[in-house]
Structure 1
Amino acid sequence: MALHSLRFRLVDSPTPLGAKRRARRAAWLSHTFPNLAEMTVLDLGGRVESWAGVPVRPARVHVVNLEPLPAALPDWAEADHADACELPERILNRRYDLVFSNSVLEHVGGHERRRRMAEAIRALAPAYWVQTPYRYFPIEPHWVAPGMQFLPVSARVVVARRWPLAYTPGKSYEAAMRQVLTTELIGRAELRYLFPDATVRNERLAGLTKSLIAVRA
């Protein structure tokens, strides 16, 4: 499954609320990194088009994803088809100013793979910004289903197949199981363990922490 195929719906949905929250996050990013326009950025699990309309665009963006590569790229971007937890040497041997990842850490497949991704992030640049939905927000964000993340796997598969607010209700058992098993929300303690040199910020909705952002500026 592509790292980008399940997105944080309460943030990245194509609605006015989603657009507002994307703009707020972009403002946070440019405020945290005042030299963003001069930086080279490695985006793990993102898309080139996500950077095209931001108020402040980095000088160079290198996107790494498991999706097929774009047919054409702007002159400020490059793209690689690769696993963020098993980056090839051609990427590991490079250095960037900033590593960025948005709603990907919860999809890579278990703690050990999250640990490997975190190690690469911390080694590839002096600064990073890693956002992930918060496990203890009352609504599971990918399916917009209350408390779904706390259910047994079999019950989550039923929700993934039948819940009307899911992107594609009615999917096959195999597809639902694959998505459920590759969507594992994490809490603050694990994020601090993975990124011990980070400041952890709260992104809130209705006063509740909706997502966490590990930042090393």
Structure 2
Amino acid sequence: MSAFPDTIYAVQHLSFEDLGSLEDTCYSLGYRIRYFEAGADNLKKAFEYEGLTIILGGPIGVYETDDYPFLQEEINLLKVRLEKKLPTLGICLGAQLIAHALGAKVYSGHVKEIGWSRLSLTEHPNSLLAPLADIPVLHWHGDTFELPDEAVLLASSEHYPNQAFTIEKHVLALQFHIEVMSESLEKWLIGHTAELRQANINIPNLRADNLRYAPALEVQASHIFQQWFSQLQY
């Protein structure tokens, strides 16, 4: 793209699940950020945007359209966006929305995957996720998805085979949270306390792991995002 727009759009489904460390990376590259709040803002502009739109995580499922009607509009807009091959990054719920919009099944998984662990990376030359070979990442989801037909699988985990995929240059979908920052993860522990207790997660242990692993992930997340983002512009 010869004249890539100078603002990156981000769709939020929960106020404290923001771009995290990727926000600073975007700023360092000279880009501004504009957030859209799903369920409150009109998302049409975000999904019709010709620049990069990032779809962030949240605690609802893509199949809960009866309870959260805005999800269906979001899915419909996303289908059109993907058909146009506009640059799109999905994280957690965002990745599941992308998979669903491409016709893949999204469903409740057999176990809540919450906590830090290493990925099993598929073997691809110059894989985008190669910097994560020895870096634990934060998983925080109960749903999972089947791999869309046109997707290239990048990573799996102990519990779920489909953790990340790409489609050509324009789509990157990550079910894990590459964006988390150690300094803001306490908000997640507070905001998701009901889910954590229901899943019998040891909160002090998770807090300790956040502090132990998040700083290294922040560094590698920046490298991965810059590599993927740079190839969008050519």
Q: Normalising by structure 2, what TM-score?
A: 0.35
Q: Normalising by structure 1, what TM-score?
A: 0.37
